[in-house]
Structures are given as structure tokens and as C-alpha cells.
Amino acid sequence: MPRVVGVDIPNNKRLDIALTYVYGVGRATATKVCEELRLDPAMQARDLSEEQLTNLATHLEKVYVVEGSLRRQIAAAIARLRDIGSYRGLRHRRGLPVRGQRTRTNARGRKGPKKTVAGKKSVKGMK
Amino acid sequence: MGRSIKKGPYIDVKLAKKVDSMEEGGKRSPIKTWARSCTIPPNFVGHTFMVHNGKMHVKVFITEDMVGHKLGEFAATRSFRGHTNKKEGLKAR
């Protein structure tokens, strides 16, 4: 299987889909990359030539922020919020939703699996 | 959604004036304020504000990283310290 940008191994799929396996590349970016490099988005990723592969890799690294550097960029942004003692940083620290969502119910994506609290009334019972 | 660019960031006029006059006078004492919604412009850096949190004024020293945020972001309005532990609660009694 071909490798692009480090460890990413897109498989036997259309090129525009295979590219979305790279962190930081979605459908929109993938389609754009194909256009910029004059590659057929419908071609199978395994049919890429060596030259096309190197082109893809250098292009992705140069024009877009992907994989490690993107992860680092995001982590740095969060670290900044924490360091300046802002409300958003505090929410990140506590692992709670950052953008003002409710936490009485839901927010499971941030809080993780439910922890049952004894004696707590159910949402239905609260009215 | 952000504020329109045409209007520019919201900066409390009175507060900005106070900072300006302080800059002229060359002194930097904490400024008490209730203007939590005021965006921090670059010339606030290095000043200390006492931002109201609904109960009292919280000391906030402005660093370069804080520019563009609002004063209220640095003075939490809630003081939730976690639920009481059942075992500890019994011990206390």
C-alpha cells in the first residue's frame, strides 16, 4: 500500500477518499489537492506512481498543515488558553465543554462515559 | 459568530481613557472595572485590572497572550469546587 506523509497508508479506494485518511485532510481538501496536482480523483490510490506519490507528499506538507504539525498547532493553541488562565482554558483543563453547552445532561463527548451518582434524580423526574 | 469588522472590537471607552491617562502619568496601579465584555487591546498589556465577577474584583494582570480576549474571560463567575464527598461529609459531622 502507498504511503503519504509519514505513516498514513491510504488503501484501495478512490484517490479523493484515500487522501482523507491523512489527519487534516477532508473531502474538500482532498478534491482540491487532486485538482492542484492534475490527478484524477476517481483513480485508485494503489495506481499512483512513485513520482506522483512524492509530489503528493511534498505538496501536502508545503501547502497544508497536516498530521504532526497540525496536532502540535492545536495543542499549542489549547496550551495558550490554559496558560493565560482564561475561561476556555479552564474548561479544557476540567474536560468539560468549552463553548457554553449545557452539562446538566449530555456533554458525553467531553465528559466520557456516564458515572452514575447515587440519589441523583433522573432528568425525567426533575421536570 | 464574531462581531462585524466594520465596528471593530468592543472596547469600553471609559476604561480605555483611564488606561491612556495612566500611561501618560507613568503609573500603573490596578484599575477597578465592571466592563467584563471589554476586548483587550494591545495597549492594555502590562496593566493590572480588578475585574468584577459579580461578587468582588479579581486581579487580572494583562500579558501579551491575552490581547483579543475579553476581560471577563479571566474572572470566573462561578465557584463550583466539586460535590461533597459522602464519606468526608460524614466524618465532618
- For the entire predicted model, the pTM comes to 0.76
Return the DSSP state at A72. H
pLDDT at site A82: 93
Residue A47 gets which letter from DSSP? G
**Phi and psi at residue A101, in whole multiples of 5°?**
-70, 165
pLDDT confidence band for B86 (50 / 70 / 90):
low
For residue A90, the chain B residues in CB contact (below 8 A) are: 76
The minimum CA-CA distance between B10 and chain A, rounded to whole Å, is 18
Its ipTM equals 0.76
**Which chain A positions have a beta carbon within 8 Å of B83's beta carbon?**
117
Among left, alpha and beta (phi > 0; psi -120 to 50; other), residue A67 is left
Contact A86 B69 (CB under 8 A): yes
Beta strands B31-33 and B57-61 are: unpaired
Q: How close A67 comes to chain B (CA, Å)?
A: 26
Predicted pLDDT at A46: 86
* pLDDT score of A124: 58
List per-residue pLDDT tens for chain A, 127 residues long: 778 887 777 888 899 999 999 999 999 999 999 999 999 999 888 888 888 888 998 999 899 998 889 999 999 999 999 999 899 999 999 999 999 999 988 999 999 898 887 777 666 555 4
Best of B37, B62, B69 to mutate (most A CBs within 10 Å, chain A): B69
Burial of A55 (0-12, 13-18, 19+ CB in 10 A): middle
Question: Reduced to 3 states, what is the DSSP secondary structure of residue A98?
Answer: coil
The grid cell for B87 is 464519606
pLDDT (0 to 100) of residue B93:
45
- Whether residues B73 and A86 touch (CB distance < 8 A) is answered with yes
Chain B nearest C-alpha distance from A18 (Å) = 33
Rounded CA gap, A5 and A60, in Å? 8
**Residue B8: pLDDT over 80:** yes
pLDDT for position A114: 86
How far is residue A102's CA from residue A96's CA, in Å, rounded to a whole number? Answer: 10
Q: How far apart are CA A29 and CA A67, in angstroms?
A: 14
Which among B72, B74, B83 has the least Cβ separation from residue A85?
Answer: B74
The C-alpha cell that represents A80 in the structure block:
495558550
CB atoms within 10 A of CB A13: 14
User: Is B65 within 8 Å of A84 when comparing Cβ atoms?
Assistant: yes
The stretch B11-40 carries a mean pLDDT of: 90
pLDDT tens digit sequence for B38-48? 999 999 999 99
Counts for chain B of helices (H) and strands (E), in that order:
2, 3
